[in-house]
Amino acid sequence: MNTKQRVLTALLADGDTWHSGDSLASELGLSRESVWKAINALRKAGHDIAARKSQGYRYVSCAHLDDMVIAYHLQHELPLTVEKTVTSTQDVAKKWLATQTELTPAAFVADAQTNGYGRRGRQFYSPAQSGLYLSVVIPNPQADLTQVGLLTTGVATAVVAALREFFPTADFGLKWVNDVMIHERKVAGILCEAVLALESSTSAAFVIGVGLNLDTAQFPDALKQVAGAISDTPIDRNALAASLIDHIMQRAKDYQAGDFLPAYRKLSTVIGRQVTVKIGEQVLIGKVLDIAENGGLELLTDQGLQTITAGEVVKVDVKA
């Protein structure tokens, strides 16, 4: 770590504690002037660091997304890229994958996306400062796609678990397969894409994208009736980004066991309700009885019980 990173880490480690310039210099083996220069550089980079005579310095917050702060909060070690604006974090992650000879997990975070997208290529509204957009690369060394339904549903519960750490009173729900809802409005989208190995046409890795409407106040007209924000209370986006990455990484290790399915069922907003499901050009209407053991949708239609493993719930009837 360079001097600036070392000073930042020391301040973050005791965020509520005041640190004198002398104590920081002694702890880090630096001159007091080096500490002062590092703190000034951090402030210029957007870090809010308070200073008091006779008490020293205290880290307050960072309004922008910062790779050093996210890395500090991360429990997993992995390559991390943080950008102000990208086309989409999925695009950035897949371009990175194309340059790698050995696959490793990696994370990509952005403050805004100019061409964020979700299922079926639909645009995901991604304004700066009021949302959070990230993608995580998960290697798939066994090239196994048989449990991809469990990966998608598993990641959805992992995302909600991370969100609950920051929004403990929010009433999160999951609309199959991977829309995070609050009061019938979509507040987050999750996209799991398989990247194929050209030599074998098997899945070399998964790229998992997450887009959050944190405190977005205004939406385009086409989204005003279906999208919403999680809360109007500001939270630490850097800490949330780290938590999301950690939860997704952990779920990638154990999703095939399906132990999260009871939690997914509790969060489901469609079980017991009449829904319309679109699978390509096919449209099915029926009552959702359960979430299957493979993560599919158990749908009772006029033709009988079907387990749907692909497609999208495009309409959910109002609760009785």
Q: Are residues 75 and 41 in the same domain?
A: no
- CATH for 231: 3.30.930.10
Mean pLDDT of the chain: 92
Domains in the chain: how many in total? 3
Q: Are residues 135 and 258 in the same domain?
A: yes
Q: Are residues 115 and 209 in the same domain?
A: yes
- What pLDDT does 200 receive? 46
Please give the residue range of the domain that contains residue 310: 274-316
> Is 80 exceeded by the pLDDT of residue 66?
yes
User: What is the rounded distance in angstroms from the CA atom of residue 88 to the CA atom of residue 182?
Assistant: 24
- CATH for 33: 1.10.10.10
Average pLDDT over residues 184-210: 82
Average pLDDT over residues 110-119: 92
Pick the last residue of a domain from 62, 82, 101: 62
Summarize pLDDT for 233-244 with one digit per residue, the tens. Answer: 989 999 999 999
Q: Are residues 191 and 84 in the same domain?
A: yes
> Is 80 exceeded by the pLDDT of residue 120?
no
**113 annotated ligand-binding residue:** yes
Summarize pLDDT for 198-256 with one digit per residue, the tens. Answer: 554 456 899 999 999 999 999 999 999 999 999 999 899 999 999 999 999 999 999 99
Q: Which residues contact 273 (CB under 8 A, 6 or more apart)?
A: 287, 288, 316, 317, 319
Measured CA to CA in angstroms, residue 4 lies from 79, 199, 211, 236, 238 at distances of 19, 44, 30, 21, 18
Average pLDDT over residues 51-77: 94
Summarize pLDDT for 285-314 with one digit per residue, the tens. Answer: 999 999 999 999 999 999 999 999 989 999
Summarize pLDDT for 91-114 with one digit per residue, the tens. Answer: 999 999 989 888 899 999 999 999
Q: Are residues 131 and 234 in the same domain?
A: yes
